[in-house]
Protein backbone atom coordinates (compact mmCIF):
# COMPACT_ATOMS: atom_id res chain seq x y z
CA UNK A 1 0.00 0.00 0.00
CA UNK A 2 1.59 3.25 -1.13
CA UNK A 3 1.57 6.09 1.38
CA UNK A 4 3.29 9.40 1.94
CA UNK A 5 4.02 11.64 4.90
CA UNK A 6 0.59 13.28 4.66
CA UNK A 7 -1.09 9.87 4.90
CA UNK A 8 1.04 9.20 7.96
CA UNK A 9 0.21 12.56 9.53
CA UNK A 10 -3.51 11.99 9.04
CA UNK A 11 -3.27 8.48 10.52
CA UNK A 12 -1.66 9.92 13.65
CA UNK A 13 -4.07 12.82 14.04
CA UNK A 14 -7.23 10.89 13.23
CA UNK A 15 -6.11 8.03 15.46
CA UNK A 16 -5.74 10.48 18.33
CA UNK A 17 -9.11 12.07 17.58
CA UNK A 18 -10.99 8.77 17.40
CA UNK A 19 -9.38 6.84 20.26
CA UNK A 20 -7.62 9.33 22.53
CA UNK A 21 -4.25 7.66 21.96
CA UNK A 22 -1.45 7.83 19.42
CA UNK A 23 -0.95 4.86 17.11
CA UNK A 24 2.36 3.11 17.73
CA UNK A 25 4.95 3.02 14.92
CA UNK A 26 4.43 -0.72 14.56
CA UNK A 27 0.66 -0.24 14.21
CA UNK A 28 1.26 2.31 11.49
CA UNK A 29 3.67 -0.02 9.70
CA UNK A 30 1.05 -2.78 9.71
CA UNK A 31 -1.66 -0.40 8.53
CA UNK A 32 0.35 0.79 5.53
CA UNK A 33 2.10 -2.51 4.82
CA UNK A 34 5.45 -0.77 5.25
CA UNK A 35 8.63 -1.48 7.13
CA UNK A 36 8.98 -0.13 10.64
CA UNK A 37 12.02 1.92 9.58
CA UNK A 38 10.07 3.54 6.73
CA UNK A 39 7.38 4.61 9.16
CA UNK A 40 9.95 5.89 11.62
CA UNK A 41 11.59 7.91 8.85
CA UNK A 42 8.20 9.41 8.02
CA UNK A 43 7.48 10.27 11.65
CA UNK A 44 10.89 11.95 11.96
CA UNK A 45 10.11 13.99 8.85
CA UNK A 46 6.81 15.08 10.43
CA UNK A 47 8.67 16.00 13.61
CA UNK A 48 11.12 18.12 11.61
CA UNK A 49 8.11 20.04 10.25
CA UNK A 50 6.68 20.36 13.79
CA UNK A 51 3.59 18.31 13.06
CA UNK A 52 4.43 15.83 15.84
CA UNK A 53 6.73 15.52 18.85
CA UNK A 54 8.51 12.17 19.26
CA UNK A 55 10.29 10.37 22.07
CA UNK A 56 13.65 8.61 21.69
CA UNK A 57 11.96 5.54 20.20
CA UNK A 58 10.00 7.56 17.61
CA UNK A 59 6.70 7.15 19.45
CA UNK A 60 4.37 10.13 19.21
CA UNK A 61 4.28 12.17 22.40
CA UNK A 62 2.27 15.05 20.98
CA UNK A 63 0.43 15.97 17.81
CA UNK A 64 -1.00 19.30 18.88
CA UNK A 65 -3.58 19.60 20.33
CA UNK A 66 -3.36 15.88 21.21
CA UNK A 67 -0.97 14.36 23.73
CA UNK A 68 -0.10 10.80 24.74
CA UNK A 69 1.35 11.80 28.11
CA UNK A 70 -0.32 13.52 31.09
CA UNK A 71 0.63 17.18 31.37
CA UNK A 72 -1.93 18.40 33.87
CA UNK A 73 -5.24 18.18 31.97
CA UNK A 74 -7.86 15.58 31.12
CA UNK A 75 -10.45 16.21 28.40
CA UNK A 76 -13.61 14.11 28.33
CA UNK A 77 -15.93 13.85 25.36
CA UNK A 78 -19.11 11.83 25.09
CA UNK A 79 -17.24 8.52 25.10
CA UNK A 80 -13.54 9.31 24.67
CA UNK A 81 -10.93 10.59 27.10
CA UNK A 82 -7.92 12.57 25.91
CA UNK A 83 -4.90 13.90 27.75
CA UNK A 84 -4.87 17.67 27.38
CA UNK A 85 -1.36 18.70 26.48
CA UNK A 86 -1.77 22.15 28.06
CA UNK A 87 -4.40 24.80 28.75
CA UNK A 88 -4.24 25.97 25.13
CA UNK A 89 -4.61 22.49 23.64
CA UNK A 90 -7.27 21.36 26.12
CA UNK A 91 -9.50 24.29 25.21
CA UNK A 92 -8.82 23.65 21.50
CA UNK A 93 -10.16 20.11 21.38
CA UNK A 94 -13.84 21.09 21.37
CA UNK A 95 -13.20 23.26 18.31
CA UNK A 96 -11.31 20.57 16.39
CA UNK A 97 -13.37 17.42 17.04
CA UNK A 98 -16.39 17.40 14.70
CA UNK A 99 -18.40 14.89 16.73
CA UNK A 100 -17.97 16.66 20.07
CA UNK A 101 -20.19 19.74 20.58
CA UNK A 102 -18.35 20.36 23.85
CA UNK A 103 -15.86 18.66 26.17
CA UNK A 104 -15.20 18.62 29.91
CA UNK A 105 -11.75 20.01 30.70
CA UNK A 106 -10.40 19.24 34.17
CA UNK A 107 -7.19 20.13 35.97
CA UNK A 108 -5.72 21.21 39.32
CA UNK A 109 -4.39 24.65 40.19
CA UNK A 110 -0.58 24.41 40.45
CA UNK A 111 -0.66 27.10 43.15
CA UNK A 112 -3.04 25.50 45.66
CA UNK A 113 -3.99 22.11 44.14
CA UNK A 114 -7.68 23.01 43.94
CA UNK A 115 -9.62 21.03 41.33
CA UNK A 116 -11.23 22.88 38.43
CA UNK A 117 -13.44 21.80 35.54
CA UNK A 118 -15.14 23.61 32.67
CA UNK A 119 -17.51 22.59 29.91
CA UNK A 120 -15.79 24.05 26.85
CA UNK A 121 -17.80 24.41 23.66
CA UNK A 122 -17.62 26.24 20.35
CA UNK A 123 -20.12 29.04 20.91
CA UNK A 124 -18.73 31.04 23.83
CA UNK A 125 -16.01 30.91 26.49
CA UNK A 126 -16.79 29.08 29.74
CA UNK A 127 -17.56 31.15 32.82
CA UNK A 128 -14.93 31.46 35.52
CA UNK A 129 -12.53 33.79 37.28
CA UNK A 130 -9.56 31.49 36.72
CA UNK A 131 -6.53 32.57 34.67
CA UNK A 132 -4.03 30.83 32.42
CA UNK A 133 -0.31 31.37 32.94
CA UNK A 134 2.08 30.60 30.07
CA UNK A 135 5.69 30.37 31.19
CA UNK A 136 7.67 30.09 27.94
CA UNK A 137 7.58 32.92 25.35
CA UNK A 138 6.67 32.15 21.76
CA UNK A 139 10.24 32.39 20.42
CA UNK A 140 11.34 29.54 22.73
CA UNK A 141 8.24 27.34 22.77
CA UNK A 142 9.79 24.71 20.50
CA UNK A 143 13.11 24.52 22.37
CA UNK A 144 11.56 21.88 24.65
CA UNK A 145 7.94 21.37 23.67
CA UNK A 146 7.04 19.04 26.52
CA UNK A 147 8.40 21.54 29.05
CA UNK A 148 6.55 24.38 27.31
CA UNK A 149 3.22 22.56 27.29
CA UNK A 150 3.67 21.36 30.85
CA UNK A 151 3.90 25.00 31.92
CA UNK A 152 0.80 26.35 30.20
CA UNK A 153 -1.49 25.89 33.18
CA UNK A 154 -4.72 27.19 34.68
CA UNK A 155 -4.79 28.77 38.13
CA UNK A 156 -7.50 29.92 40.56
CA UNK A 157 -6.38 33.50 39.98
CA UNK A 158 -3.41 35.85 40.04
CA UNK A 159 -2.66 35.10 43.69
CA UNK A 160 -2.13 31.41 42.97
CA UNK A 161 0.09 32.31 40.01
CA UNK A 162 2.25 34.40 42.36
CA UNK A 163 2.39 31.59 44.93
CA UNK A 164 3.51 29.09 42.32
CA UNK A 165 6.12 31.44 40.83
CA UNK A 166 7.64 32.09 44.25
CA UNK A 167 7.67 28.39 45.11
CA UNK A 168 9.04 27.24 41.74
CA UNK A 169 11.56 30.05 41.26
CA UNK A 170 10.24 30.79 37.78
CA UNK A 171 9.83 34.27 36.37
CA UNK A 172 6.38 35.50 35.45
CA UNK A 173 5.31 34.73 31.90
CA UNK A 174 1.97 35.75 30.38
CA UNK A 175 -1.36 35.71 32.19
CA UNK A 176 -4.74 35.69 30.39
CA UNK A 177 -8.35 35.19 31.39
CA UNK A 178 -10.51 32.27 30.22
CA UNK A 179 -12.13 34.27 27.43
CA UNK A 180 -8.74 35.11 25.90
CA UNK A 181 -7.60 31.50 26.24
CA UNK A 182 -10.77 30.33 24.50
CA UNK A 183 -10.25 32.80 21.63
CA UNK A 184 -6.63 31.68 21.31
CA UNK A 185 -7.66 28.04 21.13
CA UNK A 186 -10.76 28.51 18.95
CA UNK A 187 -9.22 28.36 15.49
CA UNK A 188 -5.52 27.79 16.03
CA UNK A 189 -5.63 24.13 15.00
CA UNK A 190 -8.33 24.41 12.33
CA UNK A 191 -7.75 21.95 9.51
CA UNK A 192 -5.39 19.57 11.28
CA UNK A 193 -7.70 16.61 10.71
CA UNK A 194 -7.96 17.44 7.00
CA UNK A 195 -5.73 16.44 4.10
CA UNK A 196 -3.38 19.16 2.90
CA UNK A 197 -3.08 21.03 6.19
CA UNK A 198 -0.21 23.52 6.28
CA UNK A 199 1.13 25.45 9.25
CA UNK A 200 0.56 29.20 9.39
CA UNK A 201 3.16 31.57 8.06
CA UNK A 202 4.58 33.94 10.73
CA UNK A 203 2.58 36.95 9.54
CA UNK A 204 -0.67 34.98 9.53
CA UNK A 205 0.08 33.58 12.97
CA UNK A 206 0.80 37.06 14.33
CA UNK A 207 -2.52 38.33 12.96
CA UNK A 208 -4.35 35.44 14.60
CA UNK A 209 -2.71 36.14 17.97
CA UNK A 210 -3.62 39.81 17.79
CA UNK A 211 -7.21 38.94 16.94
CA UNK A 212 -7.34 36.68 20.01
CA UNK A 213 -6.41 39.69 22.12
CA UNK A 214 -2.71 38.99 22.72
CA UNK A 215 0.09 41.53 22.49
CA UNK A 216 3.62 42.27 23.59
CA UNK A 217 7.07 40.71 23.21
CA UNK A 218 6.05 37.44 24.92
CA UNK A 219 4.08 36.70 21.73
CA UNK A 220 6.51 38.43 19.38
CA UNK A 221 4.01 41.27 18.93
CA UNK A 222 4.08 45.01 19.59
CA UNK A 223 2.75 46.12 22.96
CA UNK A 224 -0.75 47.57 23.05
CA UNK A 225 -0.89 51.30 22.54
CA UNK A 226 -2.44 53.00 25.56
The closest alpha carbon to 111, from 139, 78, 72, belongs to 72
pLDDT, residue 225, reads 47
pTM across the whole model: 0.94
Residue 86 has pLDDT above 70, yes or no: yes
pLDDT, residue 2, reads 74
Q: Interior CA angle at 140 toward 173 and 121, to 5°?
A: 65
pLDDT, residue 45, reads 97
In the chain, what is the greatest distance between 2 CA atoms, to the nearest angstrom? 59
Share of the chain above pLDDT 90, in %: 95
How would residue 222 be classed by pLDDT, with cut points 50, 70 and 90?
A: confident
**Residue 168: which residues within 8 A CB-CB, separation 6 or more?**
none
Q: Sheet with 115-121: list strands edge to edge.
A: 53-54, 60-63, 66-67, 81-84, 73-76, 102-108, 115-121
Residue 226 has pLDDT above 70, yes or no: no
Phi, psi of 177 (to 5 degrees): -85, 175
Share of the chain above pLDDT 70, in %: 98
155 vs 106: CA distance, rounded Å: 12
- List the end-to-end C-alpha distance of the chain, in Å, as a whole number: 59
How would residue 152 be classed by pLDDT, with cut points 50, 70 and 90?
A: very high
How does pLDDT run across 190-214, given as a tens digit for each residue? 999 999 999 999 999 999 999 999 9
Strand-pair category, 102-108 with 81-84: unpaired
pLDDT, residue 144, reads 97
The domains located in the chain, with CATH, are 5-63 (1.10.10), 70-217 (3.30.450.410)
The mean pLDDT value of the chain amounts to 96
Please say whether the beta carbons of 60 and 43 come within 8 A.
yes
DSSP string for 103-147: EEEEEE-TTT--EEEEEEESSSPPP-S-EEEE-S-GGGTTTSHHH
How does pLDDT run across 140-151, given as a tens digit for each residue? 999 999 999 999
Amino acid sequence: MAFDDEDLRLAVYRGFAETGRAPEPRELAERFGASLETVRDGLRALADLRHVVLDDEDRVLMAHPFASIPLGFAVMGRSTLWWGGCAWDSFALAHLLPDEPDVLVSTRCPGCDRAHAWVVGRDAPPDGEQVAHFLVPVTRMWDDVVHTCGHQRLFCGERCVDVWLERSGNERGYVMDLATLWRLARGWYAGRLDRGYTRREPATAAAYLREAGLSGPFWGLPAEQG
